[in-house]
Each structure stands twice: as C-alpha cells, then as structure tokens.
Chains A and B, each alone.
With several copies, the nearest count.
Chain A
Amino acid sequence: MTNINERNHIAHINTTQEVNIISDGLVAIPMLQLLDTNGEYLSHNPSPLTQESALKILYSMHYTRLLDERMVSAQRQGRISFYLACTGEEAAVVASTAALEPVDMIMSQYREQGALVYRGYTTAQFMNQLFSNKLDPNKGRQMPIHYGDKTLNFMTVSSPLGTQIPQAAGYAFGQKYTGEAALTICYFGEGAASEGDFHAGLNMAAVLNCPTIFFCRNNGYAISTPTAEQFAGDGIASRGIGYGVKTIRVDGNDAMAVFAATQAARKIALAESCPVLIEAMTYRLAAHSTSDDPSGYRSADEEVKWQEKDPIARLQKYCIAQSWLDLEHLDAYITQSRAEILAEVKRAEKEDYASIDDLFADVYAVLPKHLDTQKQSLQAHIKKYPEAYPKTARELL
C-alpha cells in the first residue's frame, strides 16, 4: 500500500470565543443583469453578444414561444395528449445553450425545448415525438415532450425529477476521463433541487472534479408549490457555497446575462475541471403543463408583473436599438414557422405508430427468451382479435 500522508481536516479553520450564529442577517447573493427590461445595456464592458449570436438566440426564443403556443392549442384540440411550455423562460434556456459548444452534452429536466431549437432540432422532429408516431426516436414509448437526440448531444428526457443531476456529474467525469474537450450541462427546476439526487450530484461533482454546469431555472413554482414552501435559504445559489461549487446567480429573463454567465461557467468548468452552479431567476409564465390551471394557486397580478419582464421583448428591444434586427425578416420567419408547424402537425398525426417489435425491443440489447415468448403470444392474440388492437393489428395481417 502506498504511504499515507498526515491529514488535518480542521487546518483551515480559525477559532472564536463568541457563539456566532451563521446565516443571521446574510445578504442575498446579487444577480447578474446586463439588460434592463427596456433592453438598455447596463454594463461598461463590451457586450458579450455579437449580432449573429444575439439574433440566433432571439429567433430561437421566438420559435420556442410559437411552438409552445401552437402545441398548447393542439393539446386543447385533443390532437396531442400532453404538453409543457417554456413560456417566460426562453432566455434562461436558449441563451445558456448558446454559450455552449455543440459537443457539450445537455441533460434537461423537461422544460428546455429551447435548447433543442437552438441546436437545430427540426419542426418535423418535434412533431414526431409529440405525436408518438413511428418516427419518434423514442419509438412511441414516452409521453410527449420527452425529447432526446444523440447527434445533437441532447439526452432523452426522463420524468423522475432530479435523477439527471448525479448522472450529469458522471457523464462529465466520463467526458474528462476519455479526454473530450466537452462538458455536461444539467438543467433543473428549483423544485427538483429539493430532491436527494441534487445533493448527491452537486457534492459528487465537486469532490470528483467533474466539468458540469448545473443550471437551475428558479421560476417561482413547482407545480403549485411556491418557493417559500420549497426552501428557506437564499434560493439555490446559496447552496453552491456549501458544496464548494463556484456559483453564479443570473437574471434568467436577460438573455445577455445568461449568455455571459454560462460562457464564464463553461470556461471555468473546463479549465479547472470543476462544476459551476448557475441559478437563473425567472418565472414560469405558462401553466405547469396542459394538465394544470395556475389560477388555483397564484394571482393574475403576479403574472402580469412578469409578463412585463418578457425575455424575448427585452433582447429584441436591444437588437432593435443596435439596428441588428430586420423586423420584416423576423415577421416572415414567424409566419413561415407557424405554417411549418401546422403542416408538420398534420403530417405527424397521420403517420403510423411504431410496430409491435418496438414494444419489446430495447428492454435489453438482445431480446431474451422470456420476452420473445410474450411477444409471440401477444402476436397470436392480436391476430385473433385484430379489431381490439387497431394500432398493431394491421401489421400482423
């Protein structure tokens, strides 16, 4: 066995003779803001966004907003079973992804479709997933909004909250171990940050030097639960200190600030092989999901105040002031995107469903005997009663 050095776990600590109660009278961690709600640039430093990057972010936010509006309607019309909108949080998601490289792995919670938009997920791809048709990469196995794309380095969404947080630490460890110049970003809500897996993930990433960006969207609610019933500290940022994790708090409705914070985080995480925690202060303008009605738990006045902080309007005002934005081009883009979404809805809903093979495939790498037996008996059963299993009967006849 190798030699063991002497350790002293209290060497860095001074003594005091007063019973100091820490946390009394702490000042809240301030948040980085670069654009005010009028889109005025507040800093003396050069802006971190070029015209090209600002516009790509702006267009992606617009597309995300549009997609959300259309799909919430589609759900109301009964065309899809479920949807979950990012409305109000587009800057937090899109601008953070914009500050990454395409090689970086994204592990999302479920409200981060803007990241996929930014990376080039197509309307057709969104619709295939949302309509669970046979072109859905998940083969129709998961509910709508459980996107995933290996080529875009976007890990497939999983509903259980917080589980992706320690996974992100492990994934990043693997990236470092195998010598990739890439990191992992992990998105989650302030509600999910209450899960034990959050604690595990942040602590492990810190101890095991994993290049991970933990990106918390603190949007004020976990379904109906307001932050006051979720935590008593200064948000999620104040926890970073406890783990020895470098932490940045940012105005999540300010795309410029989110971009700057994430850019800084990425640099540190890779240079120092360490995790960085970002807390983006934002607001879930949308209902939790199409199954939810927020009027039962929050006031309309409150929503109005946050509508005034709309992240899209803010960056757009800035771009207009910089004469970067061609409004006609944007209008055309929106019109065309809307048409594209409608067309793809119509296409996707007509596609067939995944085949019965896909019910049994991918449980294991190779279909084991007992599953093959189940498959054969199911097929025989469906052949006998085709009218009872319309989604799969056709292929068997």
Chain B
Amino acid sequence: MAQMNLLQAINNALITAMRADNKVLVLGEDVGHFGGVFRATSHLQEEFGRERCFNTPLVEQGIIGFANGLAAQGCKPVAEIQFGDYIFPAFDQIINETAKFRYRSGGQFDCGGLTIRTPYGGGIAGGHYHSQSPEAFFAHIPGIKVVIPRNPYQAKGLLLSAIREPDPVIFFEPKRLYRAAVGDVPESDYELPLGHADIVQTGSDITLVAWGAQVEIIQEAAQRALGDGISCEVIDLQSILPWDIATVSTSVVKTGRLLINHEAPLTAGFAAEVAAEIQSQCFLSLEAPIMRVCGLDTPYPLVHEKEYMPDALKTYEAIIATMNY
C-alpha cells in the first residue's frame, strides 16, 4: 500500500499495465517526454521508450482513428484526450468506428484493445471548454464501455481492467480530484470489475446515486441529511455503460426513494436513463418521484460555477423535498 493521489494512481496503473504487457502503448498530445499536461503519463517515455509512449500531432480525430487501427492490429493503445471537452472531434471515430468495429465485421476485427482516457468535469474555474462532463453522449453508444472512478484505489483497479477488457472503454477521470483525492493504493497489480456499482454507504430512507467527482458531493449531502435523521444509501455507479441496474434497483426497493446527481446538464443527461429504468423496475416501491440534481441546461459557466453545480446543498434540499413528498 502507498498513499497516492488520483493522478499518481493512474500513472501507476499505466506503468503496471505496460510492464505486464508490451502491447500496451500510450499516445496523445503532450503525453511523451513531458508526461501530459496533468502529468498522468510522467516517466513512461523514460521507462518504455518513444515507441511505447509518444506524442501525437494535435488532432483528436486522428488520435482515435490511429488508435482504432492500432487496436485492430492487436495492440492495446491507451489514448489520452487532453480534456474531455476536446473529445468531440473524435466522436465520429468513436461512435461509427470503435463501437461498431466488431459487430460490423461479424467478429473478424475489433478495437477491443482500445482505452481512451480523458479528464472531465468542472470545479476548476475552466469555463465552457475545460469543464464539460460528456459521459451521457457515450452512454448512448452500444459497443463501448464507459467507466468513471472516484478515487485513487478505484482509478488504478478500474483502469487496469479497462486496458485488459476485450471491449473498448472510455475512461473519464474527474480532474478536480486529480490531486485532491488521496488514498491508499496497493502497489501490486489488481483489477476491479467493470459494470459494477459500489455501495459507498448503506442507508434505509433514500438512495443517492452519482459517479466520479460527484460521489463526494452526495456523501456530503448524506451527512447533512443525517442531521435530520435521514439515512441515505450512497451508490457510486463506477460504470455508466453498462451500468449496474440490479444494485440500484435493489437499493430503491429497500429505500423507496432515489436521487441522481451529475454535473452535466439535466436534459438528456445520464440521470434520465437511471430514472427511466428505475421507475420502471421499482414502480411499486417508489414513495416519491425520482429526483435529478444536475447541472443547468446552459453551457458550463465561469464565474457562476458554484451556481451551476449540483452541489451538496442542492442535493440536500432535494433529499428533504423527496422525504417530505
């Protein structure tokens, strides 16, 4: 065990994966000598050489197109997109290529070896273009998996699984926790299963669901609600595609109430999917409408970041409203 922050855990996962399998290659803008703008790929080029960790030209559609080809050839590329906000030029390569490669060829060819890592989310005064949470777009793409860790331990275990998964994975990293989230991380090689939710805290009155950086927000809200005698069950989805419907619905059958929190804009965000599915599965158990506490339907702002964000206070208010329904 070692104390690591989220970035160090990711760096450690990359080193672990690269040592274990020489088909694992790391590519992206500034990931080489410099180690990436957040330093997630520090020292990789030193240890593994330019062949296995290299800078690409500044072209996201090319990074993912190139990585798709590399994966189809049998390598395991880990492609970094510098910010989640800049993944969109690669959207076509992801939705029309990565996700459909295996299906369209009847399993002859696939991009299963591909992992795309990208920092996402707000809270760093980044404005429109260094704050977006685009996970919902990817949750609507059959053929890929979407994973989001909330702490260093998860980050290492989930990233190792993602890299070794036979399916392509998009791995969103909550950038405001890069240095803020610190915890014990095994130095050994370990994997955490994809598609499984993590029950962070058990409770009996209401189920709170989030992923990534928002998990600590709902925990904070749960803490505050405890002061009112409300017992919250806190669930971190960890994967949003596929997501762990069973864990959430079991919880909601027990608590009778559900609240989902995400930073992305409310409309057509992933909370909608969770709400739609759970109201269907748990209809007779629900004692109040499922609540969504989400980002506003505006571009991500700058000075009004606090107002935009689905923070612990807003979550707490929604818990109270749900309890009093």
Mark A residues whose CB is within 8 Å of B: 1-2, 4, 81-82, 105, 107, 132, 136-143, 146, 148-150, 155-156, 158-161, 163-175, 177-178, 184, 191-192, 194-197, 199-201, 203-204, 207-208, 222-225, 229-231, 291-292, 296-297, 353-354, 356, 358-366, 368-371, 374, 378, 381-382, 384-385, 388-389, 391-392
Nearest-CB residue, chain A, relative to B300 = A141
Which one, A139, A174, A200, A381, contacts B65 given CB within 8 A? A200
User: What are 23 residue pairs bridging A and B, where the CB atoms are less than 8 Å apart in the complex?
Assistant: A1-B33, A140-B301, A156-B105, A164-B69, A166-B68, A167-B65, A167-B66, A167-B72, A170-B69, A171-B70, A173-B66, A177-B51, A195-B60, A196-B59, A197-B61, A208-B66, A231-B57, A358-B304, A359-B298, A364-B166, A366-B166, A370-B242, A378-B307
Known: A105-B73, A169-B69, A371-B297. 9 other contacts (CB 8 A): A137-B105, A141-B103, A141-B302, A156-B106, A158-B96, A166-B65, A170-B70, A225-B57, A369-B246
Q: Are A203 and B307 neighbours in the complex by a CB distance under 8 Å?
A: no
Within 8 A of A (CB), among B26-49: 29-30, 32-35, 37, 46
State the CA gap A392–B301 with chains docked (Å).
Answer: 14
Binds A, one of B4-12, B84-92, B180-188, B254-262: B84-92
Q: Are A194 and B25 neighbours in the complex by a CB distance under 8 Å?
A: no
- Least distance between A354 CB and chain B CB atoms (Å): 6
Which one, B61, B72, B86, B128, contacts A155 given CB within 8 A? B72
Q: Are A363 and B58 neighbours in the complex by a CB distance under 8 Å?
A: no
Q: Are A140 and B302 neighbours in the complex by a CB distance under 8 Å?
A: yes
State the CA gap A172–B68 with chains docked (Å).
Answer: 12
- Least distance between B25 CB and chain A CB atoms (Å): 7
Which one, A143, A167, A391, contacts B126 given CB within 8 A? A143
Q: Which residues of B have CB within 8 Å of A358?
A: 106, 304
Q: Are A175 and B73 neighbours in the complex by a CB distance under 8 Å?
A: yes
Which one, A150, A158, A225, contacts B58 given CB within 8 A? A225
Nearest-CB residue, chain A, relative to B144 = A364
State the CA gap A180–B320 with chains docked (Å).
Answer: 60
State the CA gap A142–B131 with chains docked (Å).
Answer: 11
Lowest 10 A-B CB distances belong to which pairs?
A200-B62, A170-B69, A166-B65, A174-B73, A167-B69, A224-B34, A159-B129, A156-B105, A365-B166, A140-B303
Q: Which residues of A have CB within 8 Å of B67?
A: 170
Q: Are B302 and A150 neighbours in the complex by a CB distance under 8 Å?
A: no
Q: Are B127 and A392 neighbours in the complex by a CB distance under 8 Å?
A: no
Which one, B37, B61, B71, B297, contacts A363 given CB within 8 A? B297
Q: Are B106 and A362 neighbours in the complex by a CB distance under 8 Å?
A: yes
Which one, B72, B125, B145, B246, contacts A171 given CB within 8 A? B72
Q: Does B227 touch A at the CB level, under 8 Å?
A: no
Q: Are A224 and B242 neighbours in the complex by a CB distance under 8 Å?
A: no
Q: Which residues of A have CB within 8 Å of B86?
A: 160-161
Please, how many residues of chain B have a CB less than 8 angstroms from a CB on the other chain? 85
- Least distance between B28 CB and chain A CB atoms (Å): 10
Q: Does B112 touch A at the CB level, under 8 Å?
A: yes
Q: Which residues of B have CB within 8 Å of A4?
A: 33
Q: Which residues of B have CB within 8 Å of A149?
A: 108
Q: Which residues of A have CB within 8 Å of B88?
A: 160
Q: Are B65 and A225 neighbours in the complex by a CB distance under 8 Å?
A: no
Q: Are A225 and B55 neighbours in the complex by a CB distance under 8 Å?
A: yes
Beta-carbon contacts of B91-104 to A below 8 Å, as 1s and 0s? 01100110010111
Q: Are A391 and B33 neighbours in the complex by a CB distance under 8 Å?
A: no
Q: Are A156 and B70 neighbours in the complex by a CB distance under 8 Å?
A: no
Nearest-CB residue, chain A, relative to B51 = A177
Q: Which residues of B have CB within 8 Å of A362?
A: 102-103, 106-107
Q: Which residues of A have CB within 8 Å of B138?
A: none
Which one, A105, A222, A382, contacts B29 given CB within 8 A? A222
Q: Does B74 touch A at the CB level, under 8 Å?
A: yes
Q: Does B231 touch A at the CB level, under 8 Å?
A: no
Q: Which residues of B have CB within 8 Å of A360?
A: 296, 298
Q: Are B58 and A230 neighbours in the complex by a CB distance under 8 Å?
A: yes
Q: Which residues of B have CB within 8 Å of A359?
A: 296, 298, 301, 304, 307-308
Q: Are B143 and A363 neighbours in the complex by a CB distance under 8 Å?
A: yes
Contact of A160 with B302 at beta-carbon distance under 8 Å, contacts A166-B65, A177-B25, A231-B57 already known: no
Contact of A381 with B314 at beta-carbon distance under 8 Å, contacts A170-B67, A178-B75, A374-B266 already known: yes
State the CA gap A389–B109 with chains docked (Å).
Answer: 29
Nearest-CB residue, chain A, relative to B129 = A159
State the CA gap A225–B302 with chains docked (Å).
Answer: 28
Which one, B55, B96, B129, B245, contacts A229 given CB within 8 A? B55
Q: Are B65 and A163 neighbours in the complex by a CB distance under 8 Å?
A: yes
Q: Are A207 and B57 neighbours in the complex by a CB distance under 8 Å?
A: yes
Q: Are B85 and A159 neighbours in the complex by a CB distance under 8 Å?
A: yes
Q: Which residues of B have CB within 8 Å of A385?
A: 313
- Least distance between B122 CB and chain A CB atoms (Å): 12
Q: Are A391 and B69 neighbours in the complex by a CB distance under 8 Å?
A: no
Contact of A195 with B58 at beta-carbon distance under 8 Å, contacts A158-B96, A178-B75, A224-B34 already known: yes
Q: Are B58 and A222 neighbours in the complex by a CB distance under 8 Å?
A: yes
Q: Which residues of B have CB within 8 Å of A207?
A: 56-57
Nearest-CB residue, chain A, relative to B297 = A371
State the CA gap A208–B167 with chains docked (Å).
Answer: 26
Q: Which residues of B have CB within 8 Å of A378?
A: 296, 307
Within 8 A of A (CB), among B298-325: 298-299, 301-304, 306-308, 311, 313-314, 317
Q: Are B34 and A296 neighbours in the complex by a CB distance under 8 Å?
A: yes
- Least distance between B230 CB and chain A CB atoms (Å): 18
State the CA gap A293–B75 with chains docked (Å).
Answer: 33
